[in-house]
Chains A and B, each alone.
Chain A
Amino acid sequence: MDASPDIVGATATTPASYTVVNKRWEFNGTATLHLARACEKDSWSPAAPGQFAMLYALGVGEAAISFSGLPETPGRYVVTVRRAGAISDALTRLKRGDGLGLRGPFGVGWPLDSVKNKDVVVVAGGLGLAPLRPIIEYLAHDRGVANSVSVLYGARSPDAILFERDLSRWRNDAGMNVRVTVDAAASAWRGDVGLVTTLIPEIEFRPKNSVALICGPEIMMRFAAEAMEDAGLPQKAIWLSMERNMKCAVGFCGHCQFGSYFICKNGPIFSYDRIRDTLLVREL
């Protein structure tokens, strides 16, 4: 499963036609869509964990959306969309059988080679669990790849916890150390309340032999990356998934420029040592 920044065929600039074959509401405003290629002749390539697609809500526009599942069948993809504005609203309103356009997969995914034999610490916030789900599934399918896997997940509230069934499957069946915390809850909630970084001291990992994979709102990622560095991980071993508005997704238009990088082509996954200084520059 190589993460390739390049894309073959017409799908780089022209959307291929896809159909929603399954849809599940995760909670209000956030839905997971299973998509199938409408035309067998259109090229399709498996998405590496961490890659994204440009989804075209017909007549509305295109938005970058990460793949949220491993490729199960050729011609199919899984994505999870949160309603933020017009395009994501249209995408979450799609029903089974509805059509949409798709370009991709694009970008450089999570560093699959770097997680081998390591203690993998996944830190996710909110919808940030979606782009991490494929690599967690990959590590869950083959428990021999990593030495250990911890998944630390922070959500706004108990009713905003994404992929609850997956979280318990990863904990109970895949032997991962899965911790969930929320920002606030009613007293019936038996789990943790507090920032996701407060979970870091509670898990075991060998700092010099670990890799951290972080995805969530940028503020949370900055603090989580700093906390992992404080815990002894070198910056090179900390990976973040960056987001900026995208147009072309293939490195032409400059919309997603982030310092000296184009997020669509050089990212969206970056090691912390490459982007730390840029992350601190405002208005970028």
Chain B
Amino acid sequence: MFRNYLKIALRNLLRNKLNTGINIISLAIGLSASFVIGLMVYYDLTFDTYHPDSGRVYRVTSRFTSPQDEFVNPGVPIPLPQAAREEMTGLEIVAGFNTVDLHKAGNPESGLDFKDPGPQVFADAAYFKLFKYDWLAGTPEGLGEPYRVVLTRERAARYFPELNPAQTLGKTLVYNDSIPATVAGIVAAPQGRTDLVFEEFLSSGTFQKTDRGHYAIAADWGSTNSSDQLFVRLSPGTDPTAVQKQLDRIAKAQESDYDRQYNHHRTFELQPFSDLHFNSELQTFDNGRQPATSRPVLTGLGCIALFLLLLGCINFINLSTAQADQRAREIGIRKTLGSSKKQLLLQFLGETFLLTLLAALLSIVLSYFLLDTFAEFLPEGLHFGNFRETPVMLFAGALLTGVALLAGFYPALVLTRFQPVRVLKNQVVNTPGKPTLRRILTVFQFAIAQIFIIATLLVGKQIRYMQNKDHGFRTDAIAYLHAPWHLTSLDKNERLAREIAKIPQVRAVALGGNPPASNSSSTSTAVFFRDSTEIQSPLQMLAGSREYYDLYNFEFLAGRKPLNDTILEYVINEAYLHIIGFENPEDALNQNIRMNDENRPIVGVVRDFNPRTAAAKIGPIAIMPDWDRSREYSRFNFIHLDLKNPGDGSLSPTISAIEERYKEVYPDADFELNFMDETIAGFYQDERSLAKLLGWAMGLSVLISCLGLLGLVIYTTNRRTKEIGIRKVLGASLAQLGLLLSRDFLVLVGIAFLIAAPLAGWGLYSWLQDYAYRTELSWWVFILSGVGMIALALLIMGLRTLAVARKNPVESLRTE
């Protein structure tokens, strides 16, 4: 029976090569997208799932709110873990630990030193109760005293290459040349994906002996460092809100007078352990790690995969039901030969499954290329080999079955509904399946494709808008380089600037701090007194020499540049001007800003410029000369360059000339020249990734929909060959025939547009709300996408209908 079905299935697939091809390609596209996205979801969701009762594990984090702003810190004040142990109930395990990057580990016996070995942590036995590690030697209790360390097997093998775990116990390491630590245990590397990247666990008691040790001793509630971590496991049945209430109480009790006076609040929050991997704001312990794909992005990707799958299934449903009459005879005969409806149903579902299986094979190949194309979206640990993991295989199997059912069930029902007598009497039903259903599905397909087209066009438009938007300062032919952080000295920088200025291709040079737009910023709190009211606000500070203003071509609305590079005078932007309550820039001149208890005058106001992406509103900014120079510290660690545009387009001679000068001054440092326009383009990385993703989703959904359309058009024209022949004999023109055959489909594509346009418009409108500066939701985006889709549909239908309409009518009539 099975062999018989298989044979007939294969023969059917081979006989309708075009349909089979269309179905396999459409399904394979949806499947490969689902495989890749499923893999991503699986990968990101399987972090730290192997710890016991990890559902009850939370990290305690800090949130600070003030009238001006709000921010979070993944750490807690050092005394909180102690307070939690003593004052709180409902906690099964309280594990406070402190992360650290000790810059050197030494093995005194072998005399070997290891530079920057990687993140360590000061922890105690509670850490190992909370997180699962396999102990190869020693016990967690070994961390009970100061100057003890537990290593992973890998780390131990690096420090003590000759010794096995048991032999390593009792050996000594010296950190930072000053902190000795005896090895108290060896653990195996974690058994699953984890964000706990630590490989060396020093006993908590050792923490007081380090650089930050005085913090541990002072146990100050007033300072919070992200390296001071607190994890807890709630007792079974404990309501997290009850724990939260206790945390709120502690936070309240520790509020300072200053906090109360300025309405600053600190709260401690419970972050579920499962959120750790996804929360880009609170971060994990691996600073170099790309942030995990966020949950909304995963959801978005999931939707795209789902849509592509649906589109593929729709093609299958449409083509199989449209051509059902071709199989009606077989079904009628089988029924008279004694087949039950159930057997027929199974036969057709089996065929669909076979087709899906073939599509799956193709999709594995496609997945490989997709993984490659989207490498930038994917975490480093994710690769093609993950497909071999059992849960992934199970998911793939379930997906295939699901898709086969989704695609095959309705056509199978339609097919098996045929009554044998009607078939045998040659009254074969001319409209098998409901054409209305087919129409609805086609509309759905094209609406999805249309939405993707509109979204792609508009996201592209927004990116172009942001990149080309006037940033409020000069961005073309501007480059900057920074002096090495630790070796920086004003003398050297000034010398370097002078030397670089001598290069003929360099038009101008300016010393300063960060460029006007960059990823790093420093913000202080400024106070402004106006009519005896105090206006407190954050103020982003930029350091710039007098040349800095000219080079970046800031537009002064009032006032002037500071008189020299050390005088403490503010040049503010319009945003700050408005915060301190002025309309007219002239009025702000010579008013004082108080910062760090020093009053300094405003001497200039510049037009607003964008310090980062156009997504964010421009905040208050002040530019100052080198304001810390009196404290033997210079803010001028960047050299900004105005480069001549070389006639032949090649900058590399200029760059090497600059590098040469740089190496003379800083021989050991790495040279890196950044171009302003590239820096700005870099701000829009997320948007460009989104655009790329949408572009692909668009391309694939259009491809699937058009394939489906092609299949349907071929089917209809084949069925109407005779009618076309007769009409031609009666004198219909090619254009009339073309219109006749395409009209129905054009109407469908049109309806799809009418559905898609408002949906896309609404979605994109809300997307744009996230941007402070946004492009218009122009009507032409919609028209262009609608016209494009219709043109494409016309092209497909036109090619096919013309081919049929051009046939000699006598031929087609004779074949009937």
A and B are interacting partners: no
Q: A residues bordering B, Cβ < 8 Å?
A: none
Q: B residues bordering A, Cβ < 8 Å?
A: none
